[in-house]
């Protein structure tokens, strides 16, 4: 089992507990760790990166651990025995991400200058430092942030021999499927917090919600349509029950060809999108 989480979702203690429970994890790394994790790269290669470049190295489990020797050109290969105070870290560089980061940083710099000049008010604007009651641009922090533009880090306890760096990143980016499911559960499934007190009631509620979620995901996978779209198309199709002189008869709706194709896709597990 592999636990995947975004940066900041799990603490250092959480990661240690997962590892002690023999569970694997892949979590996003904080950008503040990049200068230390990539110290060897910056020493030997400067701030030059190529599009799609992956750097497989180590990162301290706590801020007090230092097992990466920047004097060595080669990045260390993480091993839980050799590096008991570190986790494996994978850093990826993307030219597209660098372009997006550059736009964001420029906007933050402009906002910082406006705050310094008194044109705008902000509680904790980035790249603004205060000394002697005066505000000024934190040029060192800005330069450091621009140096790291385009980088994204991942922390894991899965050895490189078990999972390649590209697979780690690919597994992490599957996280959006989980996020999409929870967005679905709050909208299309209309699931809301329920204040149950007994175990049976809690388990019954969770069973209903996750069963509906599983059905919805299956429908989406087999039809290639969003569950909201499917519900909208089938909502108007209703059967009618008519009672005449004590005789009751139910009439099925007339199903158009488009909706019938959706039903066929749902009922045929071989048809997937």
58/83 Cα distance (integer angstroms)? 8
> Residue 121, Cβ neighbours under 10 Å: how many?
8
pTM of the predicted model as reported, rounded to 2 decimal places: 0.69
How confident is the model at residue 271, as a pLDDT? 53
pLDDT in tens, 26-51: 999 999 999 999 999 999 999 899 99
Per-residue model confidence (pLDDT) at position 166: 95
Give residue 193's pLDDT: 56
Question: Tens of pLDDT along 160-171?
Answer: 999 999 999 998
Q: Count Cβ atoms below 10 Å from residue 98 Cβ, excluding itself.
A: 17
What would the DSSP string read from start to end of 188-253?
TS--------SHHHHHHHHHHHHHHHHHHHHHHHHH-S-HHHHHHHHTT---EEEEETTEEEEEPP
Q: pLDDT at position 113, please?
A: 94
Extract the residue ranges of the chain whose pLDDT is less than 70: 178-196, 269-273
Residue 9: per-residue pLDDT? 84
Non-local CB neighbours of 240 within 8 Å, separated by 6+ positions? 250, 251, 253
pLDDT at res. 54: 97
pLDDT at 39: 94
């Amino acid at each position: 089992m592999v636990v995947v989480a975004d940066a900041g979702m799990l603490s250092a203690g959480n990661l240690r507990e997962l590892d002690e429970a023999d569970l694997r994890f892949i979590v996003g790394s904080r950008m503040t760790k990049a200068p230390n994790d990539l110290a060897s790269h910056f020493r030997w290669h400067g701030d030059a990166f190529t599009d799609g470049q992956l750097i497989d190295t180590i990162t301290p489990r706590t801020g007090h651990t230092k097992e990466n020797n920047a004097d060595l050109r080669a990045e260390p290969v993480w091993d839980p025995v050799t590096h008991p105070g570190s986790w494996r870290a994978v850093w990826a560089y993307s030219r597209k991400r660098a372009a997006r980061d550059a736009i964001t940083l420029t906007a933050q710099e402009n906002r910082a200058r406006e705050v310094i000049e008194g044109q705008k008010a902000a509680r904790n604007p980035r790249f603004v430092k205060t000394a002697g009651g005066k505000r000024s641009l934190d040029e060192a922090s800005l330069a450091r942030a621009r140096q790291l533009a385009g980088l994204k880090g991942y922390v894991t306890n899965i050895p490189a021999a078990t999972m390649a760096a590209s697979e780690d990143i690919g597994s992490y980016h599957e996280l959006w499927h989980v996020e999409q499911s929870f967005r679905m559960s709050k909208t299309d499934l209309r699931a809301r917090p329920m204040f149950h007190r007994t175990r049976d009631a809690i388990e019954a509620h969770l069973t209903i919600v996750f069963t509906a979620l599983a059905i919805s995901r299956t429908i989406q996978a087999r039809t290639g349509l969003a569950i909201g779209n499917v519900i909208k198309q089938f909502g108007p199709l209703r059967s009618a029950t008519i009672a005449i002189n004590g005789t009751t008869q139910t009439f099925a709706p007339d199903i158009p060809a488009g909706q019938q194709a959706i039903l066929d896709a749902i009922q045929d597990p071989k048809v997937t999108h």
